[in-house]
Amino acid sequence: MILPEIYPRNDEQIHQCLFDALIKLMQKTPIDYISIQDLVEEAHVSRSAFYRRYKDKYDLLNQSYERILEKTLFTVNQGISWREAVTKIYEVIQQNVIFFKNAFESTDDNSLKNYIFDRTMRLESEILKKAGIDPSSDRVQYRLRAYVAGGLELTVTWVKSGAVFPLEELVDIFVENVPECFKEYFI
C-alpha cells in the first residue's frame, strides 16, 4: 500500500505549507509568540527545510508579503493604475485583518511593519529614479520618508481598528497625501 504524500517536496510547496501554517497560527497568536517549532509542526516540514529557506519566522512573513505585493501593488507595472494597485493590496489586508493585526503587533527589527517601510521606500525611490529624480537627495528623502511613514502608521491604525473604515476613503486619503512634487509619478 502506498501512503499519500503529506509532506511537501519542492521549494514552492514548502513555502506554501509554511505560509499556510503561519496564517493559521496567526489567526490566534501574534507572530512574536509563534515559535519555529510551532510553524514546522503545523506545516509538516523539518526545521532544516525551514532554515534552508528563511533566516527566521519574520523572513518567512516578509517573503510571503513580497508575494502578495507581486499579485497586487506591483501590477501597476502591467498597466493598472496606481490607485487600483493600492486598492488591491488593501483589499488583501482587509480580508486578512486578524493576520495583519497580529503581524503588526511585532516590534522586532525584522518585523513586517519595518519590512513594509523599507520595501515601500525602495519601490518609490525606484519610481523616482526612473523619472530622473535623485531619490538619495535629502530634499527627496525627507518628503518620501514622511509620506511612507505616515501611510504606514495610517495602515497600522486601520488594521488595529479592524479595517472597518471604508477602503475607498482610505485610498482617497493616501492619494490626497502624496507630496505634490511626487503626484505625477505615483498617481
Neighbours of 67 (CB within 10 A): 12
Which pTM value belongs to this model? Answer: 0.90
Give domain status of residue 4, yes or no.
no
Distances in Å between the Cα of 8 and the Cα atoms of 18, 42, 108, 177 are 10, 12, 29, 44
- Cα 112 to Cα 25, 68, 107, 162: the distances in Å are 16, 13, 9, 18
* CATH code at position 143: 1.10.357.10
Determine the structural domain holding residue 135 and report its residue range. 11-186
Per-residue pLDDT tens digits for 12-44: 999 999 999 999 999 999 999 999 999 999 999
Task: Give the separation between CA 174 and CA 162, rounded to whole angstroms.
Answer: 18
- Domains: count for the chain: 1
Looking at the domain assignment, is residue 120 inside a domain? Answer: yes
Tell me whether residue 6 is in a domain: no
Residue 79, domain member (yes or no): yes
Give 49-104 pLDDT, tens digit per residue. Answer: 999 999 999 999 999 999 999 998 888 777 788 889 899 999 999 999 999 999 99
